[in-house]
Amino acid sequence: MQVLLYIENKLKITITNNILHIKILGVYPNKEEIYKMFQTIQEFYNICKTNNKKFFHIFNFSDIEFSSIPYLLSDITKYTTFFNSHRNFFESNLIATIFIISSDFIKNALDSIILLFNPVKPTKFVTSFNEAYTYQNTLYKMLPLSEYNFA
């Protein structure tokens, strides 16, 4: 696992075997930290694009504080603008997006973002890492051998 960005008590972005894992650690990041997050994700996308790598997103909201949800919702436009700007790239390189959540309240908040984004690849809500990896492995088995470009 390689840590791409760490902001204490707020955000951690790691990569393991072409899985981009973005975890909110409790308190929702401020505007500058969100900007750093987008920069870090963009750098990852650029590497994937250059090397024609397939990847998964795992967004982990299992530890987000409930008091942070309104801030997440207030940034819907930022998220949808950023992710919509990568739609063509996602069609060719993204395998799926997995959201790890701890409650239906968080799922409902994230549904608002997904509704506006309208993903081009599968999305799945799960409640644990084990569920996320089970789903990921199921998708790996469905990929043609030529899609196993994960090195």
According to the model, what pLDDT value does residue 128 have? 93
Compute CA distances 84 → 3, 24, 64, 71, whole Å. 25, 21, 24, 20
The answer to whether residue 151 is domain-embedded is no
pLDDT at 144: 61
Number of folded domains that form the chain: 1
Cβ-based neighbour number of residue 105 at 10 Å:
11
CATH number, position 13: 3.30.750
Residue 147 in any domain: the answer is no
pLDDT tens-digit map of 116-134: 777 889 899 999 989 998 9
Would you say residue 150 lies in a domain? no
149 belongs to a structural domain: no
pTM of the model: 0.88
Asked whether residue 50 is domain-assigned, the answer is yes
In a domain, 132, yes or no: yes
**What range defines the domain where residue 16 resides?**
2-141
pLDDT tens readout for residues 68-94: 888 888 888 898 899 999 999 999 999
Backbone angles phi, psi at 17, to 5 degrees: 50, 50
Q: In this structure, what is the dihedral angle of CA atoms 110, 115, 92, 50, given to the nearest 10 degrees?
A: -50
